[in-house]
Amino acid sequence: MDEPFRAGHAERRASFVLALPAHAAFELFTPEGEKEWAEGWDPEYLHPRDGRLGEGMVFRTAIGGEETVWSVARCEPGASVEYVRCTHASRIALVSVRCTPLAGERCEVTVGYAFTGLSDAGNERIREMDEARYAEFIGSWRSAIEAMLERRAAPSAAQ
């Protein structure tokens, strides 16, 4: 007799500091803002079609051969956002991003993922995203954002 499926679950959290005010950093974690720094990020807006950020917004992405549907569960513009994301027949996650102001026009960005497997393959993806891999994953976000900020600043530095 087959064992019943047992969903895997893991929660991960990591933080980093950006040289941006919190409200400006927050914009980088909206579906539209991520286009500036996240390679391959190209959301298709389902509701509302204009991509306006707000609770109930629904969009989808296709990255790494996987289609993922996202919905905004909670949004405090300029400060924090929570997404529910589902990769069909694999895993679902609650993703939270909070931008906390720090002195000197800087902020701390805290990114949390609470993953739950929907299949054995999803459970395996969750196991792969251990603490070390998650820290590397979020570290790649920081690196990509810092590189984008340097590109933004480069034209004005030449003047």
Amino acid at 2: D
Mean pLDDT for all residues in the chain:
95
Could you state, in order of their start, the residue ranges of all structural domains in the chain? 9-152
**Contact at 8 Å (CB) between 109 and 10?**
no
**Contact at 8 Å (CB) between 73 and 82?**
yes
Q: What is the pLDDT of residue 154?
A: 86
**Contact at 8 Å (CB) between 108 and 100?**
yes
Q: What is the pLDDT of residue 156?
A: 58
Q: What is the pLDDT of residue 124?
A: 98
Structure tokens at 63: 């990255």
Q: Could you say which residues of the chain have pLDDT below 50? A: none
pLDDT tens digits, 62-102: 998 999 999 999 999 999 999 999 999 999 999 999 999 99
3-state secondary structure of 52: coil
Task: Give the up-direction half-sphere exposure of residue 1: CA atoms within 13 A in the CB hemisphere.
Answer: 2
Structure tokens at 75: 């949004």
Q: Which CATH class is domain 9-152?
A: alpha beta
Q: What are phi and psi of 22, to 5 degrees?
A: -55, -45
Neighbours of 69 (CB within 10 A): 16
3-state secondary structure of 32: coil
